[in-house]
Amino acid sequence: MKRALVAFAACAALAACGRAEQKSYPADYQFNFMRACEAQSDLPGLCACTWERIEAQIDPNDFAALERLPGPERQAHPLTQQIEQITLACHASLSQAQPAEPTPEP
């Protein structure tokens, strides 16, 4: 599920291909990523955490280049694995921060 979430969100994050060299992510990248991610995530804060780390760790030009790859090549690309690891790390940190739900008594 997490792999599908990352793949879908990464595919939807790029609003336009062929832009000039970017030094930072345009607002539409974040908007599209968050919209796609939140449509599939059930963990509050996962998408925001993932996006913050993507912005901090991945060059916008590399991210845009990844988006232009055909599906199978994009899935096999090391940057896709890095994004998956970012998502998993956010999921783990947010899951630990969430209070455990009480066990119902019989």
CA distance 102 to 91: 20
Q: What is the predicted pLDDT for the residue at 3?
A: 53
> What is the residue whose two structure tokens read 């060059």?
59
Taking only the tens of pLDDT, the chain with its 106 residues reads: 555 555 545 554 444 444 567 789 988 889 999 999 999 999 999 999 999 999 999 999 999 999 899 999 999 999 999 999 999 999 999 998 766 555 566 6
CA distance 47 to 51: 6
What residues contact residue 22 under an 8 Å CB cut-off, 6+ apart? 60, 61, 64
Half-sphere exposure of 40 (CA within 13 A, CB side): 18
pTM over 0.85: no
